[in-house]
Amino acid sequence: MEPEGKSETPAVRGRRTRAHPRFAIGDEASLLLVNQGAALPCRILDLSQGGCRIHTQDRFVAGMMVRVEVILKLFGMPFRLSGVTQWTNRKHLVGVRFIDLSDRKREQLAQLIEELRAQQQRPADPAAAETNQDLPG
């Protein structure tokens, strides 16, 4: 029996827990390899306050712990976020952890994520939702 007040967390049971919720995006972006000065075309698959998951057009072979900048445009606003590659499958997927973000950048990212949250909670087509409510049955 466990001592009172202590419970097994999901991480203890072998499941990973995320520090920040992720939001699907799918928009085009660029991944800048800072030390090489090379920009790779990519697609942001999902975004969180702590990082993002990227699909590169070309095979990503740079490895882990590489300094990068993610350059994207969402809701008409350009973003440039500094980070390091946290993981890669050595094919086309890369996980980026954001680091060295100024307070201003963190606040902008938080606002962007809040907009993504609101957008994903809205019905896809409000007119269709209203029309369906008028139908019998």
- pLDDT tens, position by position, 114-125: 999 998 888 765
- pLDDT tens, position by position, 1-57: 434 443 333 343 344 666 788 999 999 999 999 999 999 999 999 999 999 999 999
Answer whether residue 70 is part of any domain: yes
- pLDDT tens, position by position, 72-127: 998 888 999 999 999 999 899 999 999 999 999 999 999 999 999 998 888 765 55
Long-range pairs for 61-64: beta carbons < 8 A, 24 or more residues apart: 61/90, 62/33, 62/36, 62/88, 63/88, 64/88
Q: What angle do CA 51, 52, 58 make, to 5 degrees?
A: 135
Answer whether residue 30 is part of any domain: yes
The total domain count for the chain is 1
Answer whether residue 95 is part of any domain: yes
Answer whether residue 130 is part of any domain: no
Answer yes or no: is pLDDT of 133 > 90: no
Domain of 114, CATH number, reads 2.40.10.220
pTM to 2 decimals? 0.75
